[in-house]
Structures are given as C-alpha cells and as structure tokens.
Amino acid sequence: MPLALEPNKKLPIVLDSDMQKPVESRPVFFFLSVSNRKYTELQEEIDECWNHPTAKGLCEAVCAMLKKHCQGWKNMGEYEFGVADFMDLLTHQESQQLLRKYLANQHVTPEEKKSSE
C-alpha cells in the first residue's frame, strides 16, 4: 500500500552519522510519510527557510520546521521529545539532513535495520 495512504504511520529516520551505531541504541526520529501534495507544501516552507538573511534566522527556521513535523524520537538519552529543543540537539548540517530525509521519505527500511545489526 502506498505510504501516503497510511497517514498515521510514523516512519523512522536516522542521521547518516548514526547508521553504524547498534540498532538498540541508535537515535531515531519519527515523521509521517509525505505525499506529492505534502511534498510541494513542504518544499515551499523550506524555500522560505533558505531565504533568511542571517545564520541565526536560518537555523531557527529549520529547527522550527523539525519541531512542527517531527512526531517523536527514541534513544536520545535524557532529552525528552516535546521538551528538548532541536536548536540544542543537532548541528546545522544534521538538522538540514533530517529535514531533507523527511522530505524525501528517506526512512530506514527493514533491510537497513538488519544490515547494521
């Protein structure tokens, strides 16, 4: 079944730098799938983010998008979802990567889970 037809299915996304960590302790972020229509809406939001004239504005805009769209996480130590701020947890490169992976529905597949165990 197409992912977009499962609107409440949370998809796991892992940063590239965390893929080699053991599955049981690997930080994982959860996002909903992105249909073509949602993709175009998100791309417009992202385009607005990139137009910030300052680094602070850009970082804050990207992290605000992550906060708006991320559905949860696991294996993030003492950092509680909904309380901890993406501005304090991720580097700018990591936050951009997470946003790009979300936009591309680039979630961890069962095969990737098994291959890194």
pLDDT 10s digits, 35-85? 888 889 988 988 888 888 899 999 999 999 999 999 999 999 999 999 999
Going by pLDDT thresholds of 50, 70 and 90, the confidence category of residue 4 is low
Q: Which domain holds residue 7?
A: 3-115
| C-beta of residue 10 within 8 angstroms of C-beta of residue 72 | yes
Give this prediction's pTM: 0.85
Report the number of distinct structural domains present in the chain: 1
Query: What CA–CA distances, in Å, run from 66 to 10, 24, 56, 100, 111?
Result: 14, 23, 15, 10, 26
pLDDT at 12 over 90: yes
